Amino acid sequence: MRHGFKAQAERRAGELRSSLGLHATDPLSPKAFLQSLGIIVWAPHEIPGASSDHLNQLLIQDPDSWSGITVREGNLIAIIVNSAHSEERQASTMMHEWAHIELRHKPNRVDRSEHGLFLLSDYPSDVEDEADWLAAAVLLPREGLLRHRSRGMSSNEIAKHYAVSIDLTNWRLRMTGVDRQLRQR
């Protein structure tokens, strides 16, 4: 991750939430946010022309092999999210994909099938880390975590409030140092 990126992402997340009229303690609806930007959000069964064989492979036979992908066609952008995952994980995936767009990340490679469908996009690990950090900062602002935690909310209550996974909440609490800060008070 680039030097200073985490602080920059925290500021950017705060500015974005402020522009949306959201306080740090307010949850954000990723799908509504993305749609407000004109980004299409699809589950695999909503993809035009998706075959039942492809859907079976993506959602039943191998649902753990992918979380989401961004597809661009001209000026249209669509984020396809794995509907076999929990809604909380889908929220994180949507924002992770948005972060790649927002940060103008370029994949190392993109493969296409013989029918022109995107099969894989591969980003360097530092770029993935940046997308993870920005997405999490927007979903779980540090200031909001600090306020909720100082009011005695558990990780589960915070996760439920923001409609994200407990894993993401615990990761964010740990990585931002919120719990350590409160212990030192």
Give the global pTM: 0.88
Task: Burial-class residue 155 by CB neighbours within 10 Å (0-12, 13-18, 19+).
Answer: middle
The count of other CB atoms within 10 Å of the CB of residue 164 is 26
Q: Are strands 68-73 and 109-112 parallel, antiparallel or unpaired?
A: unpaired
- Do residues 91 and 81 lie in contact, with contact meaning Cβ atoms separated by under 8 Å? no
Q: What is the pLDDT of residue 106?
A: 73
Q: What is the pLDDT of residue 38?
A: 97
Domain boundaries, the chain: 5-179
pLDDT of 112 strictly over 80: no
Q: Which tens digits make up the pLDDT trace of 44-91? A: 888 888 778 877 777 888 777 788 888 888 888 999 999 999 999 999
Q: What is the pLDDT of residue 86?
A: 95
Q: What is the pLDDT of residue 110?
A: 58
